[in-house]
Amino acid sequence: MVQKEKISVNKYPWGRWFEPWYLAYALSGATTSGMSVILLPLAVNRTSGANHIGLVMAAFNLGGLTAPLWGSLVDRYRLHRWMLFSGLLITTIGLAVFPFTTNKSTYVGLALLQGIGAAAAATVANLFVVEGHPQAEWDERIGWLQTFYGGGQVAGLLLAGALSQVDVDAGLLVAAGLTLLAALIGWLTTSTPAAFHVPRPVLLYPGRHSEWVGGSPQRFYHHLTLNAIRQLGLVFGSPFGIFIMVWLLTYAGSAAFFSFYPVLMNELYGVAPGLSSTGFAVAAGAGLTLYSPAGRWADRFGPARVLKAALGVRLLAFLSLFVLGITHFGQAWLALLSFLFIVLAWSLLSVSGTALTAQLSPVGEGEGMGIFNAATALAGTIGAVLGGWVAGYWGYNGAIALAVVGIVFGLVFALTRRVDSGRPGSPAL
């Protein structure tokens, strides 16, 4: 009976598994997770130092913590279509104004605006699928949505690499134009699904794109709720709490590096922004192929082992970058090779982290995913601020050292604290 009343957002019969509004999220992936991560640090670096780059990128991550507000508004007032359009429009404004100011406080405010807009738009992505289509189609449709978003990120990185060699300001305006186009496509090709009084289903799909999770549709479907906050006492000291601590330490450390990626690669290793963007795109594209194998490895060996193995790979790669930054030996191509392994490890971390959240959460899978996603956004914010402070005092190699320290502490924590969910057959961390 419920399925007969549902209104599909697919207005076009030729799209069985993917729909025209997916293009809006592909463009969002190109700008939010592709172009912004390259162009924003480069733009700020022209007038400010590492400290301020860290604050700007932290403000972008901070916008992700507003997801609970947008999620509650969407659920209560059925604002799906308006939220998608408004979020993308807000991001457009943040990008479009950025080239026309050099004020440090304005930079931070505009980055925060972009983060808020990206979070608002991403919040409704999966709702269009689960509220507009039968459950039997969710896997296929969400898989295509992730493919579009991840592909958009790769294309955005390539475009940012090309534009950064010409004019960073022009690149930001192009990103604003593409985001505005995404808003128009979203408005024209979606409609708000009918309201149903059913619990929001738990979706356990990790974000299938590289590291930058600021605007990921998969990261904002489950968000931190008041109910989850009330139950935080159950989390502390539990196996899930220990896992969240490991995740906070390791992700914050990595964020200290990723927040400065194009500037850091140029300053430390002589890798021009165009080449570093292309390298990021290649790494992100290669990482997309690892999600399916990562899922199989998590099933076979347990997600905890996959998580620790991925952290080990990351630790070695960051140590390699740190040594290269000191010795300046064969730095450019070796630095890009080390970075490739950092990005490839993210596929394993994303899959294993999502699986562990579902298995270990003592407050339910949906609430646990909300805590996990909030912890990710918080870690990104903390890492960017600390990375900027450290890089400002000790140079960009200090940011890499911070990444190494974060992963070391997280890995030691994971290896010395045995975590068991108490469920039969559940893995230990």
Average pLDDT over residues 197-217: 79
The Cα 353–Cα 299 span in angstroms is 13
% of the chain residues with pLDDT over 70:
92
CB-CB neighbours of 364 under 10 Å: 14
Identify whether 424 is part of a domain.
yes
Query: Residue type for 37, please?
Result: V
230-248, pLDDT tens digit by residue?
Answer: 888 889 888 999 999 999 9
Helix (H, G, I), strand (E, B) or coil at 290: coil
pLDDT tier at 4, thresholds 50, 70, 90:
very low
9-65, pLDDT tens digit by residue?
Answer: 444 444 577 789 999 999 999 999 999 999 999 999 999 999 999 999 999 999 999
The reply to whether 145 and 48 lie within a common domain is yes
Tell me the DSSP string of 4-54: HHPPPS---TT-SS--TTHHHHHHHHHIIIIIHHHHHHHHHHTTS-HHHHH
CB-CB neighbours of 220 under 10 Å: 29
Average pLDDT over residues 71-91: 94
Count of domains for the chain:
2
7 pLDDT more than 70: no
Residue 174 dihedral angles phi and psi, to the nearest 5°: -65, -45
121-137, pLDDT tens digit by residue?
Answer: 999 999 999 998 888 88
The reply to whether 196 and 281 lie within a common domain is no
The Cα 5–Cα 427 span in angstroms is 41
Which two structure tokens, joined as six digits, stand for 216? 């990921």
pTM of the shown model = 0.92
pLDDT tier at 274, thresholds 50, 70, 90:
very high
- What is the dihedral sign for C-alpha 405, 247, 374, 90? positive
333 pLDDT more than 80: yes
Q: What is the pLDDT of residue 8?
A: 45
CB 396 within 8 A of CB 265: no
The reply to whether 150 and 77 lie within a common domain is yes
Boundary of a domain, candidates 162, 181, 212: 212
Q: Which residues of 62-99 are buried (b: 16+ CB within 10 A; e: fewer)?
A: bbbbbbbebbeebeeeebbbbbbbbbbbbbbbbbbebb
Is 8 exposed, middle or buried (CB count within 10 Å of its CB: 0-12, 13-18, 19+)? middle
Which two structure tokens, joined as six digits, stand for 111? 């980055």
The reply to whether 8 and 70 lie within a common domain is yes
% of the chain residues with pLDDT over 90:
74
Give the helix ranges, DSSP H, for 98-137.
104-123, 125-130
The reply to whether 137 and 263 lie within a common domain is no
The reply to whether 136 and 247 lie within a common domain is no
User: Quick one: residue 6, left, alpha or beta (phi over 0 = left, psi -120 to 50 = alpha)?
Assistant: beta
Boundary of a domain, candidates 184, 212, 240: 212
The reply to whether 206 and 228 lie within a common domain is no
pLDDT tier at 373, thresholds 50, 70, 90:
very high
The reply to whether 8 and 140 lie within a common domain is yes
The reply to whether 229 and 205 lie within a common domain is no
Boundary of a domain, candidates 168, 185, 212: 212
Q: What is the pLDDT of residue 328?
A: 75
Q: What is the pLDDT of residue 427?
A: 45
The Cα 54–Cα 46 span in angstroms is 14
CB 212 within 8 A of CB 372: no
The reply to whether 71 and 44 lie within a common domain is yes
Identify whether 247 is part of a domain.
yes
CB 99 within 8 A of CB 50: no
Using CA atoms, how far residue 93 sits from 87, 180, 242, in Å, is: 10, 9, 40
Identify whether 31 is part of a domain.
yes
Identify whether 219 is part of a domain.
no
425 pLDDT more than 70: no
CB 122 within 8 A of CB 219: yes
Q: What is the mean pLDDT of the chain?
A: 90
The reply to whether 7 and 114 lie within a common domain is yes
State which residues form the domain around 205.
1-212
Q: What is the pLDDT of residue 409?
A: 94
The Cα 106–Cα 129 span in angstroms is 37
Torsion of CA 31, 32, 33, 38, to 10 degrees: 70
CATH number at residue 294: 1.20.1250.20
Identify whether 142 is part of a domain.
yes
Identify whether 217 is part of a domain.
no
The Cα 70–Cα 87 span in angstroms is 10
Q: What is the pLDDT of residue 278?
A: 96
pLDDT tier at 73, thresholds 50, 70, 90:
very high
Identify whether 218 is part of a domain.
no
Helix (H, G, I), strand (E, B) or coil at 414: helix
Nearest to 319 by CA among 255, 244, 406: 406
The reply to whether 51 and 168 lie within a common domain is yes
The Cα 133–Cα 9 span in angstroms is 8
